[in-house]
Amino acid sequence: MMLQRRLLGLVRLAPLAAGTAVLASLAAIGCAVGQAVAVADVLRRLLTDGGVEDIHAPVLWAVAAGLARAALLWLRDIAFAYTAARVKTRMRDQLYGKVVALGPGWTAQRRAGDVQTTLADGVESLQAYVGYYLPQAAVALVAPAALVGVMIWIDPVVGLTVAVAAAVVPIARPLWRRLLGDRGTAFWRAYAAFGARVLEALQGMSTLKLHNAADRYEQTVRAEAEQVRHAAVGNLKASMGVYTLVTVAFGVGTALAVAVAALRFSYGALELAALLIVLVLAAECFRPLLELQNYWHQGFHGIAAASGMFAILDAEPRVRDGHRTLPVTQAPEVVFDQVSYAYPGAAEPAVREVSVTVAAGSTVGLVGRSGSGKTTLTSLLQRFDDPTSGAIRVDGVDLRELTLASARGLVSVVSQDVYLFHGSIADNLRLARPAASDDELVSAARDAHAHEFITELPAGYQTTVGERGARLSGGQRQRVAIARALLADAPILILDEATASVDAAAEALIQQALDRLRVGRTTIVIAHRLSTVAGADQLVVLQRGRVVEQGPPAELLARPGAFAELAAAQHGELTHSGEVAR
């Protein structure tokens, strides 16, 4: 039998249902045996010149046993389904909770489609194994042993014949286990890769159409679909080998039992009643093994997918929960103290010994070319990961001492790539504060210059924005994000190229909303366009993860250096006074 220790432990999530399934199955087998014995008694009475009046009682017993068996099988199937549903629900809860605990630092290193396939299809594949195969495996161990014991008690020769035939199945199955396990793993890997590829195609459909690459990408999808087909066929071939073995053992074992019993009867070593009962029990002995085989193929899919699920559950979060909370009622000081960080597997650190002090209530701009470490620093401030060395302190407290909820509650972010969830505008706003009233939503939207366009939408604040906010323009999404940040009311604000992807008219409204949002907060601005940090109190210029310059914008622009070179490269976007050139 294919028993996987950790999956076997999942049955403990629904012990009552699993136990009910096993007991109902065993009781149903008992009823089947009782029904068959009653039928055998009917035949015995008729064959020994008994009258019709002599068979009334056994016929009634046969009917009653049949009805009881039908009821027990119904109960068994309900218990099977409940066991599977309970285990899948608990597993989904555990996996989702673990992925959330692992955070963006972990998910960024993996294909979203792979993780999605594991959480959705992978958990669903446990249905056959946990809900059906495992309870039936218990039945297949107990019932044949009990029936063989009864047959040995009736006639040792016949009983031992059936025992030998039945033993072939569990003895021979390990010969297929590794082959089927390898085939099942190959199928699941191919299926997960195919699912990830399809998700990428759906998410990138506009890009594929823009570059006339949809047909070319379709060939890649077709190739991976063919790999799924090939793996599925290989898996099925291996599974059918086991099915054939069980079927042959069932037929041969029953035939041998009939032959031996008939021979024993002809020699007078077995009475007619015993012969009829043995024939019934021989067939019933193999039935649990045959029913177990029905779940064998699908059950291996669950085992193959389980490796991905347990890999997630076993993953260690790189960010640990602290023990302190930091209630901040006003703009705090933020200090990066000799902060270094290297992404897992990277040859070089993304940031190296960065020391920056952001004064309480001030605005600091992080500038530098792509890959200089700006986003890494703000990700560390949000505790998506922790520094490899050094520390980040808020009002003198190391972020690593804080609970994750407390640390992340200190920060609001408005980025270039605004993420809105499929749902209403009100739902997306309340992500920041679930208990916010309608009046508070309207107030935040007004401050973000979003209320006007929201009220013009078909359902106002209840308008569905579509996946990733696809039904809104870029500027509208940005203003919803600003309103959400206003509702969050966090004391630290990160602006990550917040106006980079909007037109000039929208940028003006967004900039006004951002200026209102920055009031009373400690703000860090990430910028490629230097005009967006012209009003910052301080600039920090990064190159290859190191701080190469710090100071007010006007001072940095007035002297030769990295910032002056960046400004010159952007065609004099800033004047020497630090104001935007018009």
Residues 450 and 475 in one domain: yes
Question: What value does the mean pLDDT of the chain take?
Answer: 80
Which of the listed residues 469, 489, 509 is the one where a domain comes to its end? Answer: 489
Q: How far is CA 293 from the centre of its chain?
A: 29
Is the same domain home to 232 and 343? no
**CA 11, CA 21: separation in Å to the nearest integer?**
12
Is the Cβ–Cβ distance between 79 and 134 less than 8 Å? no
Mean pLDDT of 272-292: 78
Q: Which domain CATH number covers 396?
A: 3.40.50.300
Give the confidence band of 576 by pLDDT, cuts at 50, 70, 90.
very low
Q: Are residues 86 and 211 in the same domain?
A: yes
Q: Taking residues 171-178, report their average pLDDT.
A: 58
Per-residue confidence band for 579, with pLDDT thresholds at 50, 70 and 90: very low
Looking at the domain assignment, is residue 3 inside a domain? no
Question: Is residue 324 assigned to a domain?
Answer: no
* Pair 425, 393 in one domain: no
| Whole-number pLDDT of residue 355 | 92
For residues 480 and 556, state if they share a domain: no
Digit-coded pLDDT (tens) for 505-558: 666 777 777 778 888 889 998 877 777 777 788 999 998 889 998 988 888 888
Q: Is residue 364 part of a domain?
A: yes
Per the model's pLDDT, the better-predicted residue between 560 and 245 turns out to be 560
- In a domain, residue 303? The reply is yes
38, two tokens? 């009653």
- Cα 282 from Cα 263, distance rounded (Å): 15
Strand pairing of 546-551 and 411-415? Answer: unpaired
Amino acid 222: pLDDT? 83
Residue whose token pair is 């009100």: 426
- Cα–Cα distances in Å, from 406 out to 325, 384, 494? 5, 13, 17
**Do 387 and 449 belong to one domain?**
no
Greatest alpha-carbon pair distance for the chain in Å reads: 121
Is residue 2 assigned to a domain?
no
- Residue 182 in domain: yes
Same domain, 71 and 210: yes
Would you say residue 4 lies in a domain?
Answer: no
* pLDDT-derived band at 169, boundaries 50, 70, 90: low
How is residue 456 written in tokens? 């013009």
Alpha carbons 483 and 441: distance in angstroms, whole number: 8
Domain boundary among 314, 340, 360: 314
Residues 130 and 223 in one domain: yes
Same domain for 427 and 556, yes or no, is no
Number of domains, the chain: 3
Task: Please indicate, yes or no, if residue 1 is contained in any of the structural domains.
Answer: no
pLDDT single digits (tens) 453-495: 899 888 998 988 888 888 888 888 888 888 888 888 889 988 8
Q: Which residue has the higher pLDDT, 247 or 159?
A: 159
**Residue range of the domain that includes 542:** 331-410+492-499+522-582
End position of a domain, from candidates 283, 314, 345: 314
- Does the pLDDT of residue 1 top 60, yes or no? no
Domain co-membership, 454 together with 547: no
Task: For residues 430 and 400, state if they share a domain.
Answer: no
- The reply to whether 308 and 360 lie within a common domain is no
Q: What CATH number is given to the structural domain containing 286?
A: 1.20.1560.10
